[in-house]
Amino acid sequence: MKKITHFLVHSVALIALVVTTSAGAAPPSQTKPGAELSTQESNLPNSRIDINSATLTALRSLPGIGTANARKIVAGRPYTSVDDLKTRKVLPIKAYDRIRDRISAKDTEGEKTAESPDMRKPNFGKHE
């Protein structure tokens, strides 16, 4: 009987130790190393959504962009600049103004394109 009592006392002590230790630990969502990165990445200027390759789901995550506008964006591809959404009247001006800082237009090779060049102005001797 003495062995059983001794065993029970140690078992209860061990359970109490485990319970108190795990109660003070951080929730699993806070201990994940990638959890903080995902919120930091969304605030980075390079984390813009590429309108030439984004999925409908990614486009719909933009403020004010629903399924219909996301489909219009996809149907109008490719874009040389984000301003094409406004100039081609793919999006209403108010919707464009809400998302212009969150989007980019990359060319087919994956490089960011600047505003479309003005073909009316000659480029004499200027090479990039």
Domain boundaries, the chain: 47-104
| The predicted structure's pLDDT at residue 23 | 54
| The predicted structure's pLDDT at residue 107 | 76
| pLDDT < 70: residue spans in the chain | 1-46, 108-128
Give the strand pairing for 49-50 and 103-104: parallel
| The predicted structure's pLDDT at residue 70 | 96
Q: Which CATH architecture has domain 47-104?
A: Orthogonal Bundle (1.10)
| The predicted structure's pLDDT at residue 84 | 96
Q: pLDDT tens across 37-66, in order?
A: 433 344 445 589 999 999 999 999 999 999
Close Cβ partners of 18 (under 8 Å, ≥ 6 residues apart): none
